[in-house]
Amino acid sequence: MKCSDAKILRNEKITSDIYRIELETSLSPLVKPGQFVQVQIPGFYLRRPISVCETNDNTMVLIYKTVGAGTEAMHAMRPGERINLFGPLGRGFPIEEKDVVLIGGGIGIPPLVETAKAYRKNGRHVTAVLGFNTKEQIFLRERLTELECYVVVATMDGTEGVHGTVLDAIQSKNISTSFVEACGPMSMLKAVSSVCQGYISLESRMACGIGACMGCVMKDKDGESLRVCKDGPVFEIGRMAL
């Protein structure tokens, strides 16, 4: 991990409130699937933890949702400007020697891209089950298809793909639940954890990002507190008290 200024190459809207920023950064070769970076948005105090979507040589793609003033300011930044990154941080998704089902909900989908790349590189079969509220919010479907993943989409309002949740999609397409890696809203992760084996990536408000401040802790099943930033964000299904 290190601190480094990244140069913005592109910063574009991909759905109504989701943006894709492409950066030139020396951090790229260090990133493992499912790790995150702490982004210093000019004019804001604490860094924002954002999962790495994918890396290529010296570039990195982050996909972020505008949830507050900080991320609003981030999407106003233009190509050529610089933004400081600290990372890569956290324990990402393990890349095991088997086929995998990646499950993503909304803004939880981006870290699955680099994960999919790692599995595909090993010649493994990757199924990606992506959940959205509605058709207009769909993103990253094409990218995961390009990576030769079998992509299944579910929308809550039924405007595209399977009508319902990612679990409804898994059931209706008869997808295996024996080894999944998932990231998304807590309600989705709870549901996934009740029927699947594998790993989930959690989210928490954090300050330091390296395990020192104890700001982001969650309890495991034994009541031990674990740091989402350092012990996670990826945990084995069944380990944490969700």
Residues that bind another protein (CB under 8 A): 1, 3, 40, 44-47, 70, 86, 204-219, 223, 225, 230
- Residue pair 130/141 in contact (Cβ under 8 Å)? The answer is yes
What's the token pair of residue 154? 């579910």
- Smallest distance from another protein to CB 20, Å: 23
Nearer to another protein among residue 49 and residue 161 (C-beta) = 49
Query: Which residue, 211 or 238, has its beta carbon nearer to another protein?
Result: 211
The three-class DSSP label of residue 66 is: coil
The tokens for 218 are 């969650």
Residues 129, 147: Cα–Cα separation, whole Å: 14
Tokens found for residue 63: 């996909």
Minimum distance of another protein from residue 141's CB (angstroms): 28
The tokens 């972020």 sit on which residue? 64
Query: Measured from the CB atom, is 196 or 208 closer to another protein?
Result: 208
Joined together, the tokens standing for residue 155 give: 């929308």
In the complex, least distance from residue 133 CB atom to another protein, rounded to whole angstroms: 16
- Closest approach, Cβ 178 to another protein, in A, equals 31
Would you say 183 or 226 has its CB closer to another protein?
226
Find the Cα–Cα–Cα–Cα dihedral 164, 166, 168, 171, rounded to 10°.
Answer: 160
